[in-house]
Amino acid sequence: MSFEKGNNIKILVVGDNITLNKIILDILNKKGFYVKCVLNAEDAYAFIKNNYKNTAMILDYILPSINASEFIRNLKNKGYNIPFIMMTSNSDRDTILEMMKLGAYDYIIKNDKFISSFPSVVYKFIDKLEMEMKLIASENKLKEREKNLDYLQKMLKI
């Protein structure tokens, strides 16, 4: 994961359903998030290549030329470790388990409760990412302070 303190999270929605993408875009834009929707893996790769830092994904399992499992494996092979949640109309446990093993933070079943459950799942995901960003920033500050302390200790010995 590549997040930097002070930068807003960009949410990449990868799914081939234009109507659903528009609904997701509207929900998240109203909450002030930067959202980019793409319809296929190729466009997602292009976005990620230029916007890796602070990007998180909402990923549909079935895409036109590839499934989410293959897509995530390809991303990881290219050196990208992007946090994501998965959307699927299939509640197959094996599929969900596979995606969780690949790093999915959560999943959302696209059913009649999708629109009502979507915001809480995404907000929980974003909260988790923001907490991780704060932890990374704190760890970086600690490392910097340790370097400064080491330097001062060496200077005192001279």
Residue 45 pLDDT greater than 60, yes or no:
yes
Residue 33 pLDDT greater than 50, yes or no:
yes
Residue 118 pLDDT greater than 60, yes or no:
yes
Query: Three-class SS of residue 57?
Result: strand
Residue 84 pLDDT greater than 50, yes or no:
yes
Q: String of b and e for 63-87 (b: at least 16 CB within 10 Å)?
A: beebbbeebbeebeeeebebbbbbb
The whole-model pTM stands at 0.80
Domains and CATH numbers, the chain: 10-157 (3.40.50.2300)
Residue 148 pLDDT greater than 60, yes or no:
yes
pLDDT, tens only, 9-24: 889 999 999 999 999 9
* Distant-in-sequence, close-in-space partners of 111: CB < 8 Å, separation ≥ 6: 89, 91
Residue 87 pLDDT greater than 70, yes or no:
yes
